[in-house]
Amino acid sequence: MENGALTQGEGKDPSGWLSEIIGHPVTVKLNSGVVYKGELQSVDGYMNIALEKTEEYVNGAKRRSYGDAFVRGNNGMLRLSHHHIHTF
């Protein structure tokens, strides 16, 4: 664990740490390459993610804005900063 962040492969439950970042900006990159940026509102045990104030980016260009968005856990990667990446 570095700077209080759980890194991929440590085999620990990240739910406690993830609950601490609720309300903070995150980036979710789907396996398709589409990127969603928004405020993290919830994460469940399957790593399903709910975002608020969400923006969708395709090929680096902003495409749409959504009030709320839901990303199914097996569809992408949650990027919290350039130092902390969690794959699900």
Domain boundaries defined on the chain: 22-87
Does the global pTM surpass 0.75?
A: no
Determine phi and psi for 16, rounding to 5 degrees.
-65, -45
User: What stretch of H or E contains 71?
Assistant: strand 61-71
Q: What is the pLDDT of residue 3?
A: 43
User: What stretch of H or E contains 39?
Assistant: strand 35-43
Q: What is the pLDDT of residue 1?
A: 39
Architecture of domain 22-87 in CATH? Roll (2.30)
Q: What is the pLDDT of residues 10-27, one digit of tens each?
A: 556 666 677 778 888 989
